Amino acid sequence: MSLLHTPGYDAGTRALLVTVQHPNEDPAVSEETGEELRELVRALGLSPKGPVRAKLREPNARFLLGSGKAHEISERAADLEVEWIVFDDPLSPSQQRNWERLTQRVVVDRQEIILDIFARHARTTEAKLQVELAQMQYYLPRLAHAWTHLSRQKGGRRGTRGEGEKQIELDRRQVLRRIQELRSELREVQSQRATMRKRRVGIPIPTGSIVGYTNAGKSSLMRILTESDVRVANRPFATLDATTRRLSSQFEGGAVLTDTVGFIQKLPPALIDAFKSTLEETVIAQFLIHVIDAASRNIDRQFAATTEVLEELEVADRPRLFVFNKIDLVEDRFTLQAATERLECPPERTAFVSAKTGEGVERVLELIRQLIDEQSAESVYLFPADRYDLIAYLHRNGHVVSEEHTDAGIEVHAHVSPEAGGRLSAYKLRRTSVAAEHGPRRPMTAG
């Protein structure tokens, strides 16, 4: 069930965009979402025209808009010789049918466009299942529209039904059956993922999630921070699957980062639910890296949209770093400073970077280190001289501040997670001042 299979679709298909300004809505908001719609349409390979902007006084049951505006849009579509009309607002199945009868063109809404982009970009088994489920649920009430041309093939005698009506019933049963199958398959996949996540959470290593507005450069930053081959593309929703990688080898102590799906305004709630597999990684993360497109003209609203989703996930109060990306595209750096003050980003938690050139990345690594250190108290350990395996473990799972060979053994000052601290508790010194006052320290079991 993809727009790719719509009759008349091919690369370069012309599409007239229609944006709706709701009552008491700032015109800049509808203009911004209209620009997003243009990028979404381009991501499908369509050629956007317009847009036509419509002010909505009150919703119309037949067309959403008033009949006068509907005919004006129909005439504009004919003048531009477009094959499609794309609405930025959601259309009900009946409104979609009415528009297609009026204009004699394919009419879709923002939600259908996003669904198709998701379908193209999903890579993992779970993401593909989530997308198909969302598509099935979206198209189920629209099945009648798909077969209206067949429902008139037989006469209207009492007790008879057209081929279209029979086909609708068959399709409905097939779709409902497939929805049940998808839900069952998803429960199994999610159970497996939960087991894997439980194992990962049990590993004493800090975890973080990269979040932000779509196309802010999250995957590009992930790629450079982890020195990995994470997929990068300059288009909306290039990343749908949760991708987890370890921080670069230069980052002592280790930490893992997860790249998540980009947020966007007017993202249908059903799609947020469909991608809990990605967003759940945000929920379990110990800290967040909020990537902000420093070159965007709509930086404030994009920041607000991301924060709103984080609040819905109840993680907005999680320790967060603010990374302003794409500074190589910003001519006036003073505007960035003003933005940090306006958005209330603490200077000690803010970095300005270019994932393209690498500028500022060291600052991000340093902020991650500081954040991890703050979350894990510094402890002092005394290891036997021959237990280099434990020291190596500490280097992998903590931040070693200092390491000194003494007559009693190897003394190490380090920041560690509670899990790592528990494993090494037998070698932990009770107080750091003991040695200074009473000579060499001996390993003591933590009380």
Looking at residue 200, its pLDDT comes to 56
User: Which alpha helices (H) appear in 108-262, and where do they start and end?
Assistant: 110-121, 125-139, 143-146, 163-202, 218-226
Reduce the DSSP state of residue 156 to 3 states and report it.
coil
Of 6-10, 259-263, 285-289, 396-400, which gets the smallest average pLDDT? Answer: 6-10
pTM, two decimals, is 0.69
Across the chain, what does the average pLDDT equal?
80
Query: Is 35 in a helix, a strand, or coil?
Result: helix
- Per-residue pLDDT, 226: 85
Among 23-37, 148-162, 362-376, the minimum mean pLDDT is found in 148-162
CA distance 100 to 51: 18
Percentage of the chain exceeding pLDDT 90: 30
Mean pLDDT calculated for residue range 175-192 = 89
Is 397 in contact with 424 (CB distance < 8 Å)?
no
Q: Give CA–CA dist 368/346, Å, rounded.
A: 14
Fold match between 3-120 and 204-374?
yes
Q: How confident is the model at residue 372 (pLDDT cuts 50, 70, 90)?
A: confident
Q: How far apart are CA 67 and CA 57, in angstroms?
A: 13
Rounded to whole angstroms, what are the CA distances from 211 to 77, 208, 309, 341, 378? 38, 10, 10, 20, 29
Which pLDDT score, from 0 to 100, does residue 151 have? 39
Q: Which of 13, 173, 162 is nearest to 83 (CA)?
A: 13
The CA distances from residue 150 to 4, 104, 119, 166, in Å, are 22, 17, 28, 9
Contact (Cβ atoms closer than 8 angstroms) between residue 57 and residue 92: no
Q: What angle do CA 33, 37, 38 make, to 5 degrees?
A: 120
Coil vs helix vs strand at 127: helix
Question: What would the two tokens of residue 96 be?
Answer: 């979609």
Q: What pLDDT is stored for residue 272 in this prediction?
A: 64
pLDDT at 18: 96
In CATH, which superfamily holds the domain spanning 3-120? GTPase HflX, N-terminal domain (3.40.50.11060)
**Given a cut of 90, is residue 17 above it in pLDDT?**
yes
The region, left, alpha or beta by phi > 0 then psi within -120 to 50, assigned to residue 399 is beta
Q: Domain residue spans in the chain?
A: 3-120, 122-195, 204-374, 376-438
pLDDT tens per residue across span 303-352: 998 998 888 777 888 889 999 999 999 988 888 889 999 999 999 999 99
Task: Please check the confidence at residue 6 and state whether its pLDDT lies above 80.
Answer: no
Determine the Cα angle at 112 with ends 310 and 144, to 5°: 130
Architecture of domain 204-374: 3-Layer(aba) Sandwich (3.40)
Task: Give 93-144 pLDDT, tens digit per residue.
Answer: 999 999 999 999 999 999 889 888 888 877 778 778 888 888 888 888 887 6
Give Cα separations from 344 to 209, 277, 371, 385, 430 (angstroms): 21, 30, 18, 49, 40
